[in-house]
Amino acid sequence: MVTPLKVGVAGLGTVGAALIAQVARQQEALAARCGRAIEIAAVCARSKAKDRGIDLKKVQWFSDPVALARAPGIDVFVELIGGAGDPAKSAVEAALASGKSVVTANKALLAKHGVKLAALAEKHHVALNFEAAVGGAIPIVKTLREGMAGNSFERIYGILNGTCNYILTRMEQDKLPFAECLKEAQRLGYAEADPSFDIEGHDTAQKLAILASLAFGTKVDQSAIYVEGISSIAPADLSAADELGYRVKLLGVAVKTQKGIEQRVHPTMVRKDSAIAQVMGVTNAVTVDAEGINPLTLIGPGAGGAATASAVLSDIGDIARGVRTAPFGRPAALLRSVRKAPMQRHEGGYYIRLLARDKPGTAATIATRLAEQEISLESIVQRHHGRADSDAKAGSVPVILITYATTEDAVRKALAAVGRDRVISGMPQVIRIEKN
């Protein structure tokens, strides 16, 4: 008879409690699917007395996650503590060094120490699984690492932060300003009291660093990613996007170019008829472009106890089956370093919103500056003042420009020249357009 796979869980927050409840509910099905029973043998959390709505009477209790990681009574260590440093880092290192496989939902830890942890797992011939670290219940890690192991990837991009997607959805649908939608997201629990990590794009960047490594064989390096958040987006931008056939999303994008792998996080205009444009609210989505096949889009809940626990349990199930592969799809020693690609080299279409001074020669001056940088325009829209343009200044006219493919450097140089000419008020709004 095959002995049960004994699991130790460090962290009994929303995800940890949901995981233990799910294992209890699915006990028979898990044993049938995985070929052996899965048993929660030990746990670790700050408070033993707290009521978590789960039965822990038969489970060994640890107060130190490192001690749990080294405990001889467990086969798999599940890290749900969070954070890039200790105690999560020390506990994961201890488990791997002790010959135990690790399952983690910790994107911050992987974004900072993923390559070293992968090398340690390979050295001790154990698994390091992290499906839950990116996209919640969306099986994007296994899709890239295993399901599409024979494909050559061209681009991967996605909505990787539900908080930002919820805010942009509310702004678009209800014509509300950013600050009001953020406050509502905080009230509903979608945004933290200090939301900067989400709304400034850093959460998305950590997840993108992991996806880029899986897709392109690069070392996980968050510092190589250009990051821009959504706090500058105004209702006027969303209204203009809608009229022009676009929708604004915060995307994480990693794409193979002739100059290397370009990695960026920023508000992006996507065609309304694309799959990713239909993803609203707190839902996440990832689109994969690979050579020889049409784009593949995976959509699902990106956070929440049950969704994340589902991904964690899937990873545990693989270990129970005896499935083990290189954490990032190839040996850690073969992962290539990636340098931060200057955004000035980025090529694509651009949305530009200007407050042009209402005086003779303004349009000609703007057109001249764009022409000097060889920027061609697909469309020009002059908007009437209204609620969406409430930030417009007296004596100025909102003007929307959509460019054909050009470079970031050309756009920035042209707008700098327009600014020096003093034919616009305030700062131009620039949003990149992603082909899809």
- Decide: helix, strand or coil at residue 232: coil
8 Å CB contact between 44 and 68: yes
> Hey, what are 395's tokens?
């004596």
Closest listed residue to residue 422, CA positions, set 366, 339, 373: 366
Coil, strand or helix: which one is 325?
coil
Instruction: Establish whether 207 is a catalytic residue.
Output: yes
Burial of 52 (0-12, 13-18, 19+ CB in 10 A): middle
β-strands 5-10, 377-382: how paired? unpaired
Q: Which residues contact 338 (CB under 8 A, 6 or more apart)?
A: 212, 216, 218, 219, 221, 224, 260, 261, 263
Q: How many CB atoms lie within 10 A of CB 61?
A: 11
The DSSP-derived string for 335-388 is PBP-PPPPGGG-EEEEEEEEEEESSTTHHHHHHHHHHHTTPPEEEEEEPPPSGG
Q: Where are the beta strands (DSSP E) in 65-210?
A: 76-79, 101-104, 128-129, 153-159
Q: How far is Cα 372 from Cα 253, in angstroms, rounded to an integer?
A: 29
Task: Collect all residues with Cβ–Cβ distance below 8 Å to 5 and sequence separation of at least 6.
Answer: 34, 36, 37, 38, 39, 75, 76, 316, 319, 320
Q: What's the number of CA atoms in the CB half-sphere (13 Å) around residue 350?
A: 22
Which position has the token pair 């920027």?
375
For residue 349, which of 386, 324, 378 has the smallest C-alpha distance?
A: 378
CA 421 distance to own-chain centroid: 39
Catalytic residue among 6, 100, 112, 207: 207
* Furthest C-alpha separation in the chain: 87
Give the whole-angstrom CA distance, residue 245 versus residue 378.
13
Go through 315-329 and write b for each residue having 16 or more CB atoms within 10 A of its CB, e for each that does not: bbbbbbeeebebbbb
DSSP state at residue 218: B
Which positions are annotated as active-site residues?
A: 207
